[in-house]
Structure 1
């Protein structure tokens, strides 16, 4: 049984009622993410294997978008993984609202996604190197992700990472 301070984390499919929260959180964190408006969200939802809201203690705590190999998704980093691996789950983005951070929510989300990605042998993603995102790089290193490439212009370099499952 979890301790009283452990958050209750649940991933559930995105609904129309979640759009404003997802767009606002993406806009708040856009310095680390790709921009997303209503039209782009609809495109991503069409490609997504999972486009989930992360509920923390019953409230909106963030969102996650995961794309399976074999789609026509237009992301450059996804294209790199498509050329490198036959099968994978690609974590397009995972975004936690401030109150959900530092409470083990990220680990709970990754536990669920990695368990699902196990059927394909790996999970892939990218993390900003420039501008730097040290907390994310450290989080992924602790979870066993390794850099398999780098991509981007000098002012926005990402580490392309994979974890064999």
Structure 2
């Protein structure tokens, strides 16, 4: 039988390797956000959290829409332009100049993202109907919620973001150009 001597530094290497593997795995795990809030972020303004109670207090609209060959559902939610107004971004006047380069980035809990040009939401330009919905067929959203983006005019629902966690207004009209 071979004489084995214990080498403490060997064990440290094994433990260090295990810790590094765990840390790498943990870094890839999705960050758990508060499932009942949406963060509204606009440049130069403090971030705002919109919870279910705040959303319920806003004017709601209802639309009938379907996706992926499902039967049509009755969706209930708040216009995205009204949500943006909560963050201090108003579309009550036609956009001009630099504002025409701004966009809205919507992020889901799984980090899926979509963007809308702010001009697409402007009632005098694109006027795309976009809702932040909180109910489907009279019930709170389950697996798709608590908030979901709905774009009833889209031919396919690629921008119907499930589990919305943040809405960010980005100023794309920077003057720093090469």
TM-score higher than 0.5: no
Greater helix content = 1
* Structure whose CA Rg is larger: 2
Q: Please, what TM-score do these two structures have when normalized by structure 2?
A: 0.25
